[in-house]
Chain A
């Protein structure tokens, strides 16, 4: 089945540690996105990528890093520089680069908690 997969579903991190959230899609989509969602709030864009080996900062990129070495994969690293990392993280992918019907499909999310 085609889809977008995030792992793990739940992740606990000690303060000062870096952690990497996985996002894989087999939809042959060019565009991939990472969003952060805090309780009762909307989605805020962290990073996005329209093509392999290229990515752009979103609105809240500080304390995060990404890579796009393969079309299928867009991992997000939450670094120790991120002061308040506890949140729900959503990865999405879409087929277009801004034209036409570029519906985004979402993974099931990773809930990160700092302990």
Chain B
């Protein structure tokens, strides 16, 4: 099986930076995804990492270290609309494309 761990909640002020960590234990690792989910809505794709390093997309960046089983999502210049749950998900090859999610991190942005 897979263990995917993320903090439950984080609070930050508008304009600040927040880093959401995700650790995982799995075999046959084949990629890690970050999704954003607003309350009552479907998750939307933010980023994908399969190689070590940093992927940057505007205000959002995602980092992966395969040897450490660790990823983080960095949100810069926080806006009120960034208040949402952020889900880390891992896909593996040995379970034939099984996509599993962590419990999510609720980010609260305050004025």
Contacts and interface: CB of A to CB of B under 8 A. Distances in A.
A56 B95 CA distance: 10
Interface stretch (B61-69, B73-81, B98-106): B98-106
A2 to B, nearest CB: 15
Interface residues of A, number: 32
B90 to A, nearest CB: 11
A99 B99 contact: no
B92 interface: yes
B30 interface: yes
A90 B42 contact: yes
A106 B42 contact: yes
Given A90-B43, A102-B31, A50 B97 contact: yes
A93 B80 CA distance: 30
Given A101-B48, A109-B42, A48 B98 contact: yes
A1 interface: no
Contacts of A104: 33, 45, 89, 99
A106 B102 CA distance: 16
Nearest to B105: A42
